[in-house]
Structure 1
Amino acid sequence: MLFVLCAVLVISACSSTTKDAATQPAATKEKEVTFLFNFASQTIDPHQDYTPLRAGITETLVKLGEDLKIEPWLAEKWETKDGQHWTFEIKKNVTFQDGRVLDAEAVKQSLERAIKVNPGVEQVLKIKEMNASGQTLSITTEQPFPQFPSELVHPNTSILDVNAPDPDKKPVGTGPFKVSSFTAGSSLKVERFNEYWGGAAKLSRASFNFNEDASARLSALMSGDADIVYRPPVESLETMKSDPSLHLESVMSLKTHELIFNTHQSEFQNKYVRKAFDALVNREELKDVLMGGQATIASGPFMPNFSFIPSYEARTTGADAALKWFEKAGYQVDQGKVSKDGKPLNLKLVTYTSRAEFPLFAQVLQAQAKDIGIQISIEFVDKYEDYLLTKDDWDLGTYSPIIAPRGDASYFLNVSFKPDGTLNFGKINDEELNRWIDELDQMVDMDQRNELIKKILTHIDEETYYSYLVHPNTLVVYKDRVKNWVTSKSEYYMLTNQLDVE
């Protein structure tokens, strides 16, 4: 009787389940991914941080294509007659994630906020006046600025609803994903925005997590705690390649690893000292040993495929070449050792850990300098960019900026070499260089622009304001269940509405 009773209950339950399934609509399959990035965000205010754009929360008026040409995004088109007065037509039928309609006034308010909270945005946009009417946004720049639309590619010009509260923890954008939660320095969780103008995302939700330890990121992938890992450790390349469940992508990025010289320090006001350290750097070792071959040796700041690259003179590198530059700088060189006024040099190099090769590179440079009698102390710094800009207690530093985030040279030259540039970590103030950059900013003819850029880059090379080391590849490894992932050269676009999992 007990057996019969159990059988009846099972049949009844199955019948009930079948009936419910027949009367209920089919449930949408829930899909999600966990993405591990190497640099932690302390805020997700899109006017201060790149993560909201990368995570598909916000979008910009203009987008950078993989061919490094700008494309319409939230702006359908734009035009100008004189390079100073611009008209942008804002895409119709777009809403923010809180339901507000995107129009020219909303874009104007967002750009005004970006300019107010981020001095770097104000510096590069150079906007004098904006007027909004329906879907038409009129912008007047302070002076003729032919490359203005390309500046609107920058993630910090992302468009957000300025009326929404708490933009540093829950910004409201127009992208395919909206914020579920954010923990500073740890993780960002997003969910699908069903009314996204480009079509609802294939994923239901995603986690955009942060971990600066490359080995820990890879371990999370191998254990199943992550699906996509940005910049896995290069020493594990063969392990990743041999695993049939993983896909490894290596794409030349728009970044350039550089050694920075603090020109506020007396030693590095001498260009021959800068040239000495430039010669001392072993770029081949950095590329092949420390980065597993995942880089291209740099001759200057830009990748070699741009039309404005000058013909650089071949460098002579190594300890002997460095010693010759030190002698030219007026330093004493005796038995392969450098001194100044009878005393050895003691210098401080600062760096950070989110680029795994930088601590190793710092140690290698420290050893190379020691061989010629120079003592270098190494310090790891938090809030690295702020430290470099505001402190003067350092001599050398490492950094890896995105050199051509707009497909044009003017942005990089302005932020890296103008006295108030947001990436002018070397604290450079060259009056001739400033004048040329100002001239470039107003130049319309492309052939003339390219010739002037060549002139500027040749001057930068002669002065050796930075030591340009390598152009690193962007490495991404992901599970084979992940579909439609694209490793963007610009490193701007990561979680998209097309990203999917099986």
Structure 2
Amino acid sequence: MKLKKIATILLSAMLSIGVLTGCSNNSSNSSADKKELVYGTGVYATTGSLDPAEANYNGWFTLRYGAGETLFKVNDDGTISPWLVEEYKNTDDTTWELKIKDGIKFSNGKQVTAKEVKASLDRILDKEEISAGKALSVDSIDAEGQKLTIKTSKPNPALPNQLCDPDLVILDVDSEDMKTKPVGTGPFIIESFNEKQCVVNKNENYWDGDVKLDKVTIDYISDNDTLSASLQSGDIDIAGGLSFTNLQKFEKDSNYKVDTNSTTRCYMFYYNFKNELLNNKNIRKAIDMCIDKKSYVSSLLQGSGEVAKGPFPTTMDIGKDIKDNGYDVEEAKKLLKEAGCKDTDNDGILEKDGKKLSFDIITYSSRAELSDISTALQDKLKEVGIEIKDINIYEAVEDQLASGDFDICAYSWTTAPIGDPYYFLGYNYISDGDCNYGKYKNEEVDKLVKELAVEFNQDKRAELSNKIVQIGNDDVAFSYVAHLTKGYAMKSNVSGFRQTSSDYYELNKDMDIK
């Protein structure tokens, strides 16, 4: 009996160990099966909100983080394709009929109907300060089943392109927390969001196939060197928006992959026309002619870009046959002399009407090359007697631009993200444009931009675009430096992450990590 009791105890213990071991293995396998990735980026929703109804381009991040989608999507070649839309047609100059795809659900499981889409669009249209909504020129939207009918107050040939705008991302308007947890149709669901980090989880209800990753953490790392170091240390799996100097660290290392893509993102300068000196065309032109674009592209951008003659790349129909002022320091000196600029006190800085040609440049930290370009221009302008007193680098410059509190601003624009020129020209060139921060004004340009807004013929649109840009170049409304090639570095075990020319899309259902 004693031996039997001992055997029973031993057997019981062995079974217990087996059960515990089995539980442990199952738990380990479950954890191992979870695919998680950390994405570090210097371009982030630092406003603390993902709600596109707040006028801070928040929709860009809701789209980039894979939480939402738009009715149409921009392809790499600049054309557009239906995304949440099955088919569409323009029945007359002011009427568009769209059929919303069947079977699409928000990430909370709610069915997406035309009524839900209308509610999402109406929420943005009601906000006067949201440029994306105003651009549509909507008179009315009707919803019936999956059919959405949009009537515009004037002909709007670019409406399908404009519906690609991230601020028009389709969201469930009944979401409890639009600020930090907007509910969209994308492959990921937002778990948490603050000004430094966003965590998204797999959307089990995703309508367009299986999502490979279970979780993605997006870390905001504003300093480019720190971003690069975080990838090298293994703290992150992908580093987005690396400067090209940092990108080179990973190009020949088999532990990493580097991805670059030509974009319509343009590095440029705004001039404040309310500044009496910068309102002088010869002074602006002299500054423009001191911008050594070719050198900046080859050295500061490490060849990862192309010289910009205007806002659009020369590879696009809307960017062809544009002439810029060229790089000519001696000609710049002549222009300043013609403008009546003299150095009366021999301090090396020219004056006009008793005022020194001394300006500040503002820019922001997430585009590291902008400060490098500004410094290079500062050095060159000394040669012609123009002082750049300070280069002020902010986390964001939208407040300074909106208030007009700047002289010159080094800025970055994705100029043709929807494949249409009106996107950039309507915002920047027309005198009352929402992003015409420098207050450039030319009556002929205003007239031509208004013509572009209602022109349906694509060849004519390209012709009008080129004419507008050329007049702007002749006026030195802006200075364009380079069209950027965007760069990312990632661990070699990451797949499916790809960039696009529009700069709208980042996280997607095909992203994976081994």
**TM-score for the superposition, normalised by structure 2:** 0.91
Match of 2:163 among 152, 160, 167: 152
Matches for 1:193-342 after TM superposition, within 5 Å: 193-313=203-323, 315-332=325-342, 338-341=350-353
2:75 is aligned with 1:44: no
CA distance in 2, matches of 1:196, 1:343: 62
- For residue 265 of structure 2, give the secondary structure of its aligned residue in structure 1: coil
CA distance in 2, matches of 1:383, 1:437: 29
Change (3 A) 1:343 1:456: closer
2:14 is aligned with 1:16: no
2:446 is aligned with 1:440: no
- For residue 36 of structure 1, give the secondary structure of its aligned residue in structure 2: strand
Amino acid at match of 1:187: Q
Change (3 A) 1:446 1:339: same
Paired residues of 2:298 and 2:304 also in contact (CA < 8 A): yes
- 5+ residue gaps in structure 1? none
CA distance in 2, matches of 1:443, 1:171: 36
Paired residues of 1:308 and 1:453 also in contact (CA < 8 A): yes
Paired residues of 1:323 and 1:338 also in contact (CA < 8 A): no
Residue 374 of structure 1: how far off its partner (Å): 2.2
Change (3 A) 1:382 1:5: same
Paired residues of 1:389 and 1:424 also in contact (CA < 8 A): no
Amino acid at match of 1:45: D
2:165 is aligned with 1:161: no
Paired residues of 1:310 and 1:458 also in contact (CA < 8 A): no
Matches for 1:424-439 after TM superposition, within 5 Å: 424-439=436-451
Change (3 A) 1:279 1:333: farther
Residue 379 of structure 1: how far off its partner (Å): 2.0
Tell me the residue number matched to 1:192.
202
Paired residues of 2:417 and 2:504 also in contact (CA < 8 A): no
Match of 2:149 among 104, 128, 138: 138
Residue 225 of structure 1: how far off its partner (Å): 0.9
Amino acid at match of 1:285: S
Q: Deviations over 1:34-54 (max 9, x none)?
A: 111112312111344111100
Paired residues of 1:221 and 1:228 also in contact (CA < 8 A): yes
CA distance in 1, matches of 2:214, 2:26: 24
Tell me the residue number matched to 1:380.
393
Tell me the residue number matched to 1:467.
479
Residue-pair matches, total: 497
Match of 1:57 among 63, 67, 76: 67
Tell me the residue number matched to 1:457.
469
2:186 is aligned with 1:175: yes
CA distance in 2, matches of 1:246, 1:19: 37
CA distance in 1, matches of 2:213, 2:253: 25
- For residue 81 of structure 1, give the secondary structure of its aligned residue in structure 2: strand
Tell me the residue number matched to 1:99.
109
Paired residues of 2:494 and 2:511 also in contact (CA < 8 A): yes
Change (3 A) 1:238 1:352: closer
- For residue 469 of structure 1, give the secondary structure of its aligned residue in structure 2: strand
Tell me the residue number matched to 1:363.
375
Change (3 A) 1:125 1:198: same
Paired residues of 1:56 and 1:176 also in contact (CA < 8 A): yes
Residue 7 of structure 1: how far off its partner (Å): 9.3
Q: Deviations over 1:435-486 (max 9, x none)?
A: 1111111111222222222221221111110000001110000001111111
Residue 5 of structure 1: how far off its partner (Å): 12
Amino acid at match of 1:85: T
Residue 281 of structure 1: how far off its partner (Å): 1.2
Residue 372 of structure 1: how far off its partner (Å): 2.6
Paired residues of 1:280 and 1:321 also in contact (CA < 8 A): no
CA distance in 2, matches of 1:236, 1:425: 32
CA distance in 1, matches of 2:163, 2:480: 27
CA distance in 1, matches of 2:190, 2:353: 60
2:131 is aligned with 1:124: no
Q: Deviations over 1:342-401 (max 9, x none)?
A: 55322121111111112222222222222332222222234412320223x321111111
Amino acid at match of 2:275: Q
Paired residues of 1:192 and 1:200 also in contact (CA < 8 A): no
Tell me the residue number matched to 2:412.
400
Paired residues of 2:362 and 2:409 also in contact (CA < 8 A): yes
2:411 is aligned with 1:422: no
CA distance in 2, matches of 1:409, 1:162: 31
Paired residues of 1:327 and 1:333 also in contact (CA < 8 A): no
2:495 is aligned with 1:483: yes
- For residue 44 of structure 2, give the secondary structure of its aligned residue in structure 1: coil
Please, which moves more after superposition, 240-249 or 324-333?
324-333
Amino acid at match of 2:284: R
- For residue 489 of structure 1, give the secondary structure of its aligned residue in structure 2: coil
Paired residues of 2:311 and 2:319 also in contact (CA < 8 A): no
Change (3 A) 1:339 1:63: same
Paired residues of 1:53 and 1:158 also in contact (CA < 8 A): yes
CA distance in 2, matches of 1:145, 1:292: 40
Paired residues of 2:289 and 2:329 also in contact (CA < 8 A): yes
Residue 19 of structure 1: how far off its partner (Å): 6.5
Change (3 A) 1:243 1:7: farther
CA distance in 1, matches of 2:37, 2:22: 33
CA distance in 1, matches of 2:30, 2:485: 41
CA distance in 2, matches of 1:9, 1:358: 71
CA distance in 2, matches of 1:451, 1:395: 32
- 5+ residue gaps in structure 2? 1-6
Paired residues of 1:159 and 1:173 also in contact (CA < 8 A): yes
